[in-house]
Structure 1
Amino acid sequence: MTNAAHRLLWTVVALLLVAGGTATLALTYGTPDAMVLSPALLDGWRQAAPWSTLAAAVAGLLLALAGQRLLARELRKPGTALRGTLSHPGRRPGRTRLPADVLAHALERDLTGGPGVRRARVVLTGAPPHPDVWISVDLAADICGGAREHVDAAVRRFAVTAGCQPAHLDVTARIEPGRP
């Protein structure tokens, strides 16, 4: 869901809760022994005794499950990896769809092909047209130079190939311990 959809959903939930509380307050205001449910409704509930209780339990279970799923989606980490596909409109009618994990693995392969790069890890986050690119590279201890230029060139090739410019680029380089 988009941020706007989440805001709309929580606004609707809040309005429903406020409306329910206001209606209950209006019904019981000023009379300490006021009943919220009418006697006819209570008699109907009692006549359908086993099924009404079962229906209330099922409805409560469904609402609890829906609430649990909603909270789980809201409480997940915001920086999770980009999932799905990067969609890019072409010059002619149609779209090019690229799986995000394939793009990340391709950039990792490109980075490890450079001099002195032992290992690379790439994570794509953020919005698909302009994703955030998080790169971690492990460099050999005896590397003299050229690693920065290699990473810059790999990111430029990635931007041209994927058809999107990274909104944020974070590169972490670690040098393996060894002989200086």
Structure 2
Amino acid sequence: MTDAAHRLLWTIVALLLVAGGTVTLAASFGMLPGGDPSAALLSAGLLSRWRLATPWTTLAAAVTGALLALTGHQLLGWELRRPVSAVRGTLSHPGRRPGRTRLAADVLVHALERDLTGGPGVRRARVVLTGAPPRPDVWIRVDLTADTPAAGVREHVRAAVRRFATTAGCQPAHLDVTARIEPGRP
């Protein structure tokens, strides 16, 4: 899923939960048309039908709960998984003469991570390549020490990405850099 699809999905889930809570709150205060705040939320007819079909209603509630739990588990799994469109295998470029240059994507990722961690104050770096190989999207996260100057890190990341583009023979279509500063004395 793309980031936009994730945002849309979780926006819809949040709106459904807010709408359900709002309707329940309005019903409990008797703000719904024909509602009485002292009356039970479920009508007596609905409760008698529920009790009449006793073993099946309990089973239906259990199955509904299990399906909702599985759906939530699947959504959580999608959120925690690496991007599906991550570049795997090799990046292949035609040469000027007959032949092709092939570079393993994971080797390029590890090389860029190693290059980024060589900078002053960079503790860890994580890189993910997504998209099409001639113009991949590059997602970078660097963990910095508390005393690292931002300007120096910015220039170091730019230089590392330039070296990556020259080595891989492809210019990133999109570059997203996230810098996290570790807690400590500034």
Please say if 1:79 is aligned against 2:83: yes
Please say if 1:177 is aligned against 2:183: yes
Residue in structure 1 matched with residue 37 of structure 2 by the alignment: none
Matching residue within 133, 142, 161 for 2:138: 133
Given residue 83 of structure 2, which amino acid in structure 1 is its aligned partner?
G
Give the whole-Å Cα distance in 2 for the aligned partners of 1:78 and 1:116: 26
Secondary structure of the equivalent of 1:155? Answer: helix
Secondary structure of the equivalent of 1:111? Answer: helix
Matching residue within 146, 155, 166 for 1:149: 155
Given residue 79 of structure 1, which amino acid in structure 2 is its aligned partner?
P
Matching residue within 105, 125, 130 for 2:110: 105
Give the whole-Å Cα distance in 1 for the aligned partners of 2:82 and 2:117: 28
Residue in structure 2 matched with residue 159 of structure 1 by the alignment: 165
Give the whole-Å Cα distance in 1 for the aligned partners of 2:136 and 2:184: 35
Let me know the Cα RMSD of the aligned residues.
1.6
1:78 to 1:173, Cα distance in 2 relative to 1, 3 A? closer
Deviation at residue 110 of structure 1 after TM alignment: 0.3
Give the whole-Å Cα distance in 2 for the aligned partners of 1:131 and 1:79: 13
**CA displacement, residues 2-57 of structure 1 (integer Å, 9 cap, x when unaligned):** xxxxxxxxxxxxxxxxxxxxxxxxxxxxxxxxxxxxxxxxxxxxxxxxxxxxxxxx
Equivalent residues, number: 105
**CA displacement, residues 64-113 of structure 1 (integer Å, 9 cap, x when unaligned):** xxxxxxxxxxxx88932211110011111100010100000000000000
Which ranges of structure 1 fall in alignment gaps of 5 or more residues?
1-75
Give the whole-Å Cα distance in 1 for the aligned partners of 2:98 and 2:82: 34
Give the whole-Å Cα distance in 2 for the aligned partners of 1:153 and 1:177: 26
**CA displacement, residues 134-162 of structure 1 (integer Å, 9 cap, x when unaligned):** 00000010112400000000000000000
Identity %: 84
State the structure with more CA Rg.
1
Which ranges of structure 2 fall in alignment gaps of 5 or more residues?
1-77
After superposition, where does 1:13-162 map in structure 2 within 5 Å?
A: 79-80=83-84, 81-144=86-149, 145-162=151-168
Give the whole-Å Cα distance in 2 for the aligned partners of 1:155 and 1:173: 15
Given residue 94 of structure 1, which amino acid in structure 2 is its aligned partner?
G
| Superposition TM-score, scaled by structure 1 size | 0.56
Give the whole-Å Cα distance in 2 for the aligned partners of 1:149 and 1:100: 24
